[in-house]
């Protein structure tokens, strides 16, 4: 078998896994403080291109990718960079879950976070929308406006899930909200 045949026959990284690796890396090189986000490549930490697991695939810039292949950056370091990214993502996901519970109460918040409710129709105060935006940018949350607005308050209920708990006042904006799964 020639090398090129091997290259062609190796299993490609599933698109969903590529997306997960990219988002957990923030679409930037995974080496701490590198910040390169233009020339990015996938690297298999253990050198086995068939081992397509999230832990084994790290997003690197072209320079750091070459350094990894030249063993200037060893596997132990790459695993540590990867561990930091995954830990950060877990912490971010927990922060999102906590915020959803704060907004909607524990029962509904957990349902949205765990995707037991695929899509929640919600009315949110603009300040709450701002609080949720970092999670939208991290591609953990989808939030689409339904182009509706209404005033919120205890005597003006317009839906089942709006901001009774966090900001039940002001003008609310309607959204369809759903969490993005990890796999």
- Report if residue 67 touches Zn ion, rule: CB under 5 A: no
Q: Where are the alpha helices (DSSP H) in the chain?
A: 3-9, 15-24, 62-69, 75-104, 106-113, 126-137
Residue 61 binds to Zn ion (criterion: CB under 5 A) = yes
Is residue 36 within the footprint of Zn ion (CB under 5 A)? yes
Question: Does 82 help bind Zn ion (rule: CB under 5 A)?
Answer: no
Q: Does 124 bind Zn ion (CB under 5 A)?
A: no
For the chain, the residue count is: 183
Which of 40, 23, 28 is CA-nearest to residue 181? Answer: 23
Using the contact rule CB under 5 A, the part of the chain among 29-37, 51-59, 67-75, 86-94 near Zn ion is 29-37
Stretch that binds Zn ion, among 54-62, 77-85, 114-122, 159-167 (CB under 5 A): 54-62
Q: Measured from the CB of residue 126, what is the shortest distance to Zn ion in angstroms?
A: 37
Q: Give the binding site for Zn ion (CB under 5 A).
A: 29, 31, 34, 36, 61, 64
């Amino acid at each position: 078998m020639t090398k090129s045949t091997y290259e062609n026959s190796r299993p490609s990284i599933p698109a969903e896994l590529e997306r997960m690796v990219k988002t957990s890396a923030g679409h930037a090189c995974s080496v701490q403080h590198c910040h390169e986000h233009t020339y990015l490549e996938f690297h298999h930490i253990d050198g086995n291109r068939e081992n397509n697991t999230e832990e084994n695939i790290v997003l690197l810039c072209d320079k750091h990718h070459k350094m990894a292949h030249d063993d200037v950056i060893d596997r132990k370091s790459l695993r540590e960079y990867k561990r930091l990214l995954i830990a950060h993502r877990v912490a971010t996901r927990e922060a999102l879950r906590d915020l959803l519970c704060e907004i909607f109460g524990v029962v509904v918040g957990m349902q949205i976070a765990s995707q037991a409710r695929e899509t929640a129709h919600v009315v949110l105060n603009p300040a709450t929308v701002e609080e949720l935006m970092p999670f939208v940018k991290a591609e953990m949350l989808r939030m689409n406006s339904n182009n509706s607005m209404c005033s919120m308050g205890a005597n003006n209920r317009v839906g089942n899930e709006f901001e009774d708990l966090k900001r039940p006042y002001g003008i609310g904006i309607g959204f369809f909200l759903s969490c993005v799964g990890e796999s």
